[in-house]
Structure 1
């Protein structure tokens, strides 16, 4: 095994162990929602936490296949870092959409109770609990991790933070406008943005730089000799 393959194995091992541990902890709730999801019933699958997590895991092989197909197409076209770009595109979609789906699930009083807003920083943070804070950190973590790997324009710490905060503001605004029986809180924005930033810092060594995608040289005008 060469050095590059060994490094990939070392990087992949913690991810595999973390996934296996998460599946072990969630095995009972996931198995409870499996019959409903396999039957194709919306209620009890796509409108529950367990169902969304299960379908996210089921779709994981399809996401890997999509990344492989994109990478193969890019390599055939001679694109450098085809795997990194393809994994980044698929990863930020597959890792973000389920969390946004969960945050947009309506509560029991959706459309009935008035929309609620909490604009006092840190007031709701103390009531979130450990699980709530962890969940909010993960909402845009995949986006913060993969976006700067895909786009050089986002490969700075302030821009990753702004990306997470901007996306979170959009979600909180949608919750308010659609009256989903959820509290649109500034603390959610703060924690979501922090999660995106921390994930971005974790992937900093793979961030895309402008030198990796140089702009094409402009054609120089041919001088015209005047006699």
Structure 2
């Protein structure tokens, strides 16, 4: 059910932004940086168009691991590729400079829930997706991260680094505590959606049979 809700949520966000995505298509498909990769919609469009490439990479990695006899070949490969492909473009979007970058000093909003009411559905949905891939795939790949509190801490920590970068580099963006809260919530919700798989991976080391000590003569 959680996976279905996540898919429906992603489909809903894409439906809301389908117009802006298509507006950037001419610039992106003609190979122009300006009007494509320096916008919010261009990287999202290219991310969707390029989905066959990470799928092919995951298949290649899984094939190599299966040939080497590695356990969890498909799960590990999909998690690694999905984690990177789903997170890097979203972080790119959050670090895009505004029109006053380098001129306008950094701004900070530390009062919780103040900015949340001004984000709107698209803003909240976008912030939930920033580290969703990280929350979904990281506990599948790394058993040490297979717990909700750790994913919450990971999502909050990564989001905090992004907000600090926005402030330090004067990107004409507001470094808001609400962004950290929503980003972390998105990572946790995505982790819960993949819990069926990462809980199994986390139990594997504990379920391995232990050697029986030899009896002394």
Which whole-Å CA distance do the structure 2 matches of 1:25 and 1:124 have between them?
Answer: 21
Q: 1:203 aligns with which of 158, 174, 194?
A: 194
Q: Distance in 2 between matches of 1:213 and 1:107?
A: 49
Q: Report the counterpart of residue 159 of structure 2 in structure 1.
A: 168
The Cα of 1:159 is off from its aligned counterpart by 0.3
Match of 1:152 among 134, 143, 162: 143
2: CA distance, partners of 1:23 / 1:175: 26
Match of 1:81 among 54, 57, 72: 72
Q: State the TM-score, normalizing by the size of structure 2.
A: 0.86
SS at match of 2:24: helix
- Deviation string, structure 1 residues 30-66 (Cα, Å, up to 9, x no partner): 3322221122211100011221111101221001001
- Report the Cα distance in structure 2 between the residues aligned to 1:31 and 1:41, rounded to whole angstroms: 15
Structure with higher RCO (Cα < 8 A, 6+ apart): 2
What secondary structure sits across from 1:96 in the alignment? helix
For residues 129 and 211 of structure 1, do their structure 2 counterparts lie closer, same or farther at Cα, with a shift above 3 Å needed? Answer: same
CA shift at 1:211, angstroms? Answer: 2.5
Which residue in 1 is equivalent to 2:54? 63
Q: Deviations over 1:9-34 (max 9, x none)?
A: xx89x95x877776666554333222
Deviations 1:107-150 (A, max 9, x none): 00000011001111112112212221111111101100100000
Alpha-carbon spacing, 1:143–1:44, altered in 2? closer, same or farther (3 Å): same
Give the 5 Å matches for 1:113-124.
113-124=104-115
Distance of 1:134 and 1:71 partners within structure 2: 32
Aligned CA distance change for structure 1 residues 124 and 177 (closer, same or farther; 3 Å): same
Name the CA distance, whole Å, in 2 between partners of 1:108 and 1:186: 22
Secondary structure of 1:95's aligned partner:
helix
**Structure-1-length-normalised TM-score:** 0.82
Residues 52-107 of structure 1: per-residue CA shift (max 9 Å, x gap):
11110122100100100110011011111111111111111111111111111100
How many residues are treated as equivalent by the alignment? 206
Q: Does the residue aligned with 2:108 lie in a helix, a strand or coil? A: strand
- Per-residue displacement from partner, 1:132-186 (whole Å, max 9, x unpaired)? 1111111101100100000000001110100100100010010001000000011
